[in-house]
């Protein structure tokens, strides 16, 4: 290639005749004219195809190489061992020919992996109201002056790219149900289907292909809001790439610098306000106008949300003799009449509801404290405590020989 470049410079730039170039290089005039006439910048040489002693063993050697490629490094046969095995089958050629064949086969295999092996991808285009994407992330905020790790739910409409984020202390089923309920409220309705990864709050077991064993409560929530669930293939984040990008963008737009609020409710109110405001600031990128402009058109295609899903997770608990039940290292009081009896505990993101015999017994604010340095708390409902005190007082009076009105009761004769 260097010689060809020199020849072209001599003739076209310096005007040296072909006869002089032939004298300097030793090439024939026809060769020099061919290079100059074709405007070639790199010489090409045709290699004739010659028969090889390896041709009749090529299929066998290819099969061996394919089998060896699936073995571990220590178990693979070397090219010399493959050559020796071919010799036993009647091969009379050299080792270098076998080694060259093996190198060529490996090169072609690498090229296939880098091209067709990666698959073909088509850009995803969504119709108005067709789908939304959901994902979790971990971020930090200052709550009451203390850095707190949060589980942040991201929901994004695939067509208009309108998004909403909401923070929680835990990543559990009841948090997921509340996140989607609040997202549908803010986004103005429910799309036709939701795109999720294989998160444990939705999928109990991953089967082959798109087969999933979906959590019963998650399926009930999807049935309530009438959207179809679509779960990504494992390790295929690009199938919900919009919300994956939204996670990265939110860290820059919302979580840097670290937000500072007195409690979680104030933080979520600020997040909702900021997300809606950013719809009008961010250009859609594909369609004309901002995200807010496209969302105003898409909202017509969304199904109205209707009644909110009662997104609790139910546990069966037995009340202790001291009228308490335990949940997440904390103890909550139950009416005294249900001591030593089973009750139903309904867990919501911010409260606990205790029910039995088809009625609500009591309700407590949920205490979430992930610190294992402090002991658990005991939370009392004063109405249940008063009933317990009255019951104990009556029992004490009967032991003291008095009736409920405070009068002394005469002992039985004998």
pLDDT for res 355:
93
Q: How confident is the model at residue 38 (pLDDT cuts 50, 70, 90)?
A: low
- Greatest distance between any 2 Cα atoms in the chain: 150
Backbone angles phi, psi at 72, to 5 degrees: -70, 165
Lowest-confidence region among 326-330, 342-346, 403-407: 403-407
- Classify 264 as helix, strand or coil: helix
Q: Is the pLDDT of residue 5 over 80?
A: no
Lowest-confidence region among 143-147, 205-209, 311-315, 317-321: 205-209
Lowest-confidence region among 1-10, 121-130, 225-234, 252-261: 1-10
Q: Is the pLDDT of residue 114 over 90?
A: no
The answer to whether 54 and 65 are in contact (CB under 8 A) is no
pLDDT for res 412:
43
pLDDT for res 300:
94
Lowest-confidence region among 160-169, 206-215, 349-358: 206-215
Q: Which residues, 6 or more positions from 146, have their beta carbon under 8 angstroms from its beta carbon? A: none
Q: How confident is the model at residue 387 (pLDDT cuts 50, 70, 90)?
A: low
Q: How confident is the model at residue 149 (pLDDT cuts 50, 70, 90)?
A: very high
Q: Please state the rounded mean pLDDT for residues 371-381.
A: 80
Q: How confident is the model at residue 143 (pLDDT cuts 50, 70, 90)?
A: very high
Rounded Cα gap, residues 367 and 328, in angstroms:
8
Lowest-confidence region among 70-84, 345-359, 382-396: 382-396
pLDDT for res 43:
56
Q: Which two tokens stand for residue 177?
A: 């149900």
The kind and range of the H/E element at 271 are: helix 264-279
Q: Please state the rounded mean pLDDT for residues 128-148.
A: 92
The answer to whether 321 and 313 are in contact (CB under 8 A) is no
Q: Is the pLDDT of residue 414 over 50?
A: no
Q: Does domain 131-301 have CATH number 3.40.50.1820?
A: no
In total, the chain counts a number of residues equal to 414
Task: Give the CA distances from residue 112 to residues 87, 106, 107, 108, 273, in Å, rounded to whole numbers and listed in that order.
Answer: 30, 10, 9, 6, 50
Q: Please state the rounded mean pLDDT for residues 132-146.
A: 92
Per-residue pLDDT reduced to its tens digit, 257-307: 889 999 999 999 999 999 999 999 999 988 999 999 999 999 999 999 989
pLDDT for res 187:
95
The answer to whether 304 and 279 are in contact (CB under 8 A) is no
Enumerate the β-bridge partners of residue 355. Answer: 344, 360
The kind and range of the H/E element at 365 are: strand 359-365
Per-domain boundaries in the chain: 2-37, 65-118, 131-301, 313-400
């Amino acid at each position: 290639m260097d010689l060809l470049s020199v020849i072209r410079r001599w003739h076209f730039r310096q005007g040296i005749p072909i006869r002089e170039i032939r004298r300097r290089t030793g090439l024939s005039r026809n060769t020099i004219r061919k290079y100059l006439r074709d405007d070639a910048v790199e010489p090409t040489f045709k290699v004739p195809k010659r028969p090889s002693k390896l041709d009749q063993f090529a299929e066998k050697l290819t099969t061996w190489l394919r089998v060896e490629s699936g073995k571990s490094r220590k178990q693979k046969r070397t090219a010399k061992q493959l050559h020796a095995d071919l010799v036993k089958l009647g091969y009379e050629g050299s080792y270098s020919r076998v080694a060259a064949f093996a190198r060529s086969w490996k090169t072609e295999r690498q090229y296939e992996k880098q091209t067709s092996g990666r698959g073909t991808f088509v850009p995803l285009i969504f119709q108005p109201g067709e789908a939304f994407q959901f994902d979790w992330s971990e971020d930090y905020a200052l709550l009451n002056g203390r850095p707190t790790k949060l589980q942040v739910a991201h929901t994004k409409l695939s067509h208009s790219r309108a998004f909403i984020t909401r923070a929680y202390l835990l990543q559990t089923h009841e948090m997921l149900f509340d996140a989607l309920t609040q997202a549908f409220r803010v986004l103005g309705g429910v799309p036709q289907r939701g795109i999720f990864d294989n998160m444990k709050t939705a999928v109990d077991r991953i089967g082959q292909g798109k087969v999933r064993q979906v959590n019963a409560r998650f399926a009930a929530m999807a049935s309530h809001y009438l959207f179809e669930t679509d779960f990504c293939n494992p390790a295929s984040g690009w199938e919900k790439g919009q919300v994956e990008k939204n996670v990265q963008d939110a860290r820059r737009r919302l979580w840097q610098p670290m937000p500072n609020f007195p409690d979680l409710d104030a933080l979520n109110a600020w997040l909702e306000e900021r997300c809606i405001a950013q719809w009008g600031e961010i250009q859609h990128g594909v369609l004309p106008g901002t995200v807010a402009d496209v969302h105003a058109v898409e909202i017509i295609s969304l199904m109205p949300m209707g009644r909110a899903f009662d997104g609790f997770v139910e546990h069966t608990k037995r009340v202790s003799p001291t009228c308490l039940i335990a949940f997440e290292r904390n103890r909550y009081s139950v009416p005294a009449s249900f001591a030593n009896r089973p009750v139903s505990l309904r867990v919501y993101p911010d409260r606990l509801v205790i029910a039995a015999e088809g009625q609500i017994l009591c309700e407590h604010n949920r205490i979430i404290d992930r610190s294992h340095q402090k002991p658990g708390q005991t939370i009392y409902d004063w109405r249940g405590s008063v009933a317990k005190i009255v019951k104990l007082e009556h029992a004490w009076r009967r032991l003291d020989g008095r009736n409920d009105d405070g009068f002394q009761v005469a002992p039985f004769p004998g």
